[in-house]
Chains A and B, each alone.
Chain A
C-alpha cells in the first residue's frame, strides 16, 4: 500500500513542479523550478536506495502508475487553461511522441536510418492541405489519407534504401528531405513558399476543434481540443509500438539492427522486415504531420525543413534508442524546454548543445534506456499482441 501511494506521490510531485515551471512568469522563478526538477532527478538517480525503491514500486504498481500518469495528462489542460500557448506546446510534445515512436521503430529497433523525418511529416501535412483546400475533401478523410501517402512514398524510397547501409543510407534520406523541401518550395500547386493556407479544422460530432470546449463547467482554450486528440493519438501509437516491440516482430527487427548476415543465417527475410519497419514508422510520422496541418491550418516548406528532422532524431537519442518509454520522455523534455527558455534568445541553443554533450558523456544509452524483454513467464499461449499471427505461442512480456 505504501508503494502505491508513493508512486502516486512521486507522479503528482513531478506534475506540480512541471506545471509550476511552465506557468512561472519571471525568469528567476523559471530557473528555480527547472533547477529543482533537475536536482531532484539527479538526486534520485545517484541515491541507490531511492532509485531501487522507485524501480520496485513502479514495477509492482505498474497499472496504478500508468493510471496516475494518464489522469495527470488528462488534467493538464485545466492547469494550463490561462495559457493557450502552453497548451499548444504540450500538444506539440505529444505530436513528437507520435513521430518519435515511428522513427524509433525505424532507427532504434530495426536500425534503418531515416534523417528525413520532417519530410515524411510534411508528406502527411501537405496531403491533408492539398486534399482539403484544393480538392474539397472532408478534413477527417484527408487526415486518414495523409499518413498512407507518407507510407507509400516511403515504400518507393525503399528501393534505393535497400541497396545502401550506414552513412550512405543517412545521405540518401537527407537527400530525400531536401528534395521534398525544394519541390514544395517550387511547385505551383503546393503554393510554393507561401504554402497552403486555410486548411479546415477537424470536427467531432459537430463540435469544431476551433471552438473553446467547456468541460466540468470550466472553459478551456480551443487548443485543448487538439491536446486531447493528440493525447489519444500518442497513447494509441505508443501502445502499438509497445506491443510490436515486445512481439517476435520487435525481436526480429532487432536482429537487423545488430547483424544482417546473422539475421539471414537465422532465416529472417531482411527485405520484408526492413520494409515493414520503415512503412509503419513513416505511417506514424505522417499521422503526426497530418495532425499538425489540421491543427495549425497552414503548411509551408519551412515547417518541414531539415532542422526538424534533427529535432526528431534528438528526441529518440535523448530518451534512449529502442526504448518506447524513452521516446515519450525525450519528446516531453525536448519540445517544451527550448520554449521555456525563450527569454535567453539564441543562447538557449548553447544550453541545448551542452545538454546533448552531457548526455552522450554520462548517459550514452539515453535517459530511459530500453529494458530487457522477459519471455514466457506465465503468459497464456498465443498472446503475441498486435503482431500475433502465429497461434499456439508463449508470450513475450516485461
Chain B
C-alpha cells in the first residue's frame, strides 16, 4: 500500500530524516514510535507532500508520489489527521467536515458521507453549526478524525491523535481507530503512547533522531530493550 524507501529530508542545513524506510500492507495498522523531535511529524509531512524529500522515493499503491503536491497526493486517497489536530478553528463543525471531502466538493456523495460521519460521531451532529474552536479537546479530536474520513481515504495517517486527551478519551480514540481499520482502511499511527499503540498495531517502527532504529511486529517491538527502556519503563 505505502512504501517509503530510503527517504531523507533537510531543513536548511539541518538533516531531519536520514534514510528512512517504512512499508505498510493493505488493511494493516502500523505504528511509528519515537520521542519528541525524532522526526515523526516530518515523516508524515513528507508522505503528504508538504515537505520534499532530498533523497529516496515514496510509493503509494505502486505509484510514485514523492514530488507531487499535497493536494494531488491527498486526492489519491491519503487522509491525514495532522499533529495537534489542526481543525479549522473559526469554521463550523460542518464546514470542517465538508473540507475533508474537498476533492469531491458539491457532489451528492458528500452529503451521504456527512450523514455517515454524523452517525459515527453523534456529538458532531449536535454541534453541526458550532464554531469548531469552542468545542472540547475530545470533540476536536473526533472532528479531526471525521474530517480525514470524509475524503474516504484508503490510507489514514494519524499524527498523535491522543495528544492532550484524558485517559478515557484516549481509550475511545483508540477504539475508533480500530473500528475504522476493521472497515478496511489502512492506518499509519504516529504515537508516543507506546503501550496502547503496540496493543493496537500489527507492526511498527521506532524513530530516533531521524533514523529508524527498530522495526518489527508489535510483539517484537514490545519485547525489545530499546522500547522497554525508553517507553514502557519496564
Contact = CB atoms under 8 A, between A and B. Distances in A.
A266 interface: yes
B86 A262 contact: yes
A269 B49 CA distance: 12
Contact of A262 (B82, B90, B108, B129): B82
B94 interface: yes
Given A262-B86, A392-B107, A394-B108, A267 B151 contact: yes
Nearest to A251: B95
Contact of B86 (A265, A269, A372): A265
Contacts of A255: 88, 91, 99
Nearest to B76: A267
Contacts of A268: 71, 99, 102
A255 B70 CA distance: 15
A78 to B, nearest CB: 42
A226 B74 CA distance: 50
A261 B159 CA distance: 13
A224 to B, nearest CB: 41
B89 to A, nearest CB: 6
Interface of A: 248, 251-252, 254-255, 257-259, 261-269, 372-373, 375-376, 384, 390, 392-394
21 contacts: A251-B91, A254-B91, A255-B88, A258-B88, A259-B86, A259-B88, A261-B45, A262-B86, A262-B88, A263-B99, A264-B50, A265-B80, A266-B147, A267-B74, A268-B102, A269-B69, A375-B94, A390-B105, A392-B106, A392-B108, A394-B111
B71 A269 contact: yes
Interface string B75-105: 1000010100011111110110011101101
A266 B48 CA distance: 10
Interface string B20-53: 0000000000000000000000000100111000
Interface residues of B, number: 35
A254 B105 CA distance: 15
Nearest to A375: B94
Contact of A393 (B48, B100, B106): B106
Interface of B: 45, 48-50, 69-71, 74-75, 80, 82, 86-92, 94-95, 98-100, 102-103, 105-108, 110-111, 129, 147-148, 151
A248 B89 CA distance: 18
A248 B95 CA distance: 10
Contacts of B106: 248, 384, 390, 392-394
Closest 3 CB pairs of A and B: A393-B106, A267-B74, A258-B88
Contacts of A263: 88, 99
B96 to A, nearest CB: 9
Contacts of A248: 105-106
Nearest to A382: B106
B231 to A, nearest CB: 27
B140 to A, nearest CB: 12
B21 to A, nearest CB: 23
B86 A254 contact: no
Given A252-B99, A252-B102, A392-B107, 7 more contacts: A251-B95, A251-B99, A258-B91, A265-B86, A372-B92, A373-B92, A376-B111
A257 B71 contact: no
Contacts of A266: 74, 99-100, 102, 147, 151
Nearest to B157: A265
Contacts of A265: 48, 50, 70, 74, 80, 82, 86, 148
A267 B107 contact: no
Nearest to A272: B71
Given A264-B71, A266-B100, A258 B110 contact: no
A372 B105 contact: no
Contact of B98 (A257, A259, A375): A375
B88 A267 contact: no
Contacts of B91: 251, 254-255, 258
Contacts of B95: 251, 254, 373
Contacts of A252: 99, 102
B89 A261 contact: no
Nearest to A370: B90
Contacts of B151: 266-267
B130 to A, nearest CB: 9
Contacts of B103: 267
Contacts of B148: 265
A261 B108 contact: no
Contacts of A393: 105-107
Most buried by A among B87, B91, B111, B147: B91
Nearest to A388: B106
B70 to A, nearest CB: 4
Contacts of B94: 375
B75 to A, nearest CB: 6
Contacts of A375: 94, 98
